């Protein structure tokens, strides 16, 4: 089946620093990447949708200047949390999609802890 990887799996950083999370589709071309955030004991909340080669579409309430998304190739999307604060500590998960329906697989997630 389709495989999606994320890196890093864990990151701890100081408040004010920026953190980049990578999401890769390993055996298929992902025309669309979805980024989710999950706080403890809550469900997954969609942050943004990115299509290869174009600007990401952000969900209401998600700051596009704080969560920078780049989808420069069909196999890689990155999420950069800029000037991270403790309230940004969360579990960030990507999902890679194609037009053919390979959309049911997620990356393994990245746990971010901002001190």
CA angle 106, 112, 115 (to 5 degrees): 170
Interface characters, 78-97, with another protein (x: CB under 8 A) = ---------------x-x-x
CB of 15: closest distance to another protein in angstroms?
A: 25
CB of 33: closest distance to another protein in angstroms?
A: 10
Quick one: how far is CA 77 from the chain centroid? 8
What number of CA atoms fall less than 13 Å from residue 48's CA on the CB side?
Answer: 24
Cross-strand pairs, 91 = 38, 111
CB closer to another protein, 32 vs 80: 32
Binding segment (CB under 8 A) for another protein, from list 21-29, 64-72, 76-84, 99-107:
99-107
CB closer to another protein, 49 vs 89: 49
CB of 96: closest distance to another protein in angstroms?
A: 10
Measured distance CA(47)–CA(56) in Å, rounded: 10
């Amino acid at each position: 089946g389709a495989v999606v990887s994320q890196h890093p799996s864990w990151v701890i950083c100081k408040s004010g620093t920026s953190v980049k999370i990578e999401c890769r589709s390993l055996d298929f071309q992902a025309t669309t990447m979805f980024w989710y955030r999950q706080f403890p004991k809550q469900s997954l909340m969609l942050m943004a949708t990115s299509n290869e080669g174009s600007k990401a579409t952000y969900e209401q309430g998600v700051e596009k200047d704080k969560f920078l998304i780049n989808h420069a190739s069909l196999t890689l999307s990155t999420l950069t949390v800029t000037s991270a604060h403790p309230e940004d500590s969360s579990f960030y998960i990507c999902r890679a999609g194609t037009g053919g329906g390979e959309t049911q697989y997620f990356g393994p997630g990245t746990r971010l802890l901002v001190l």
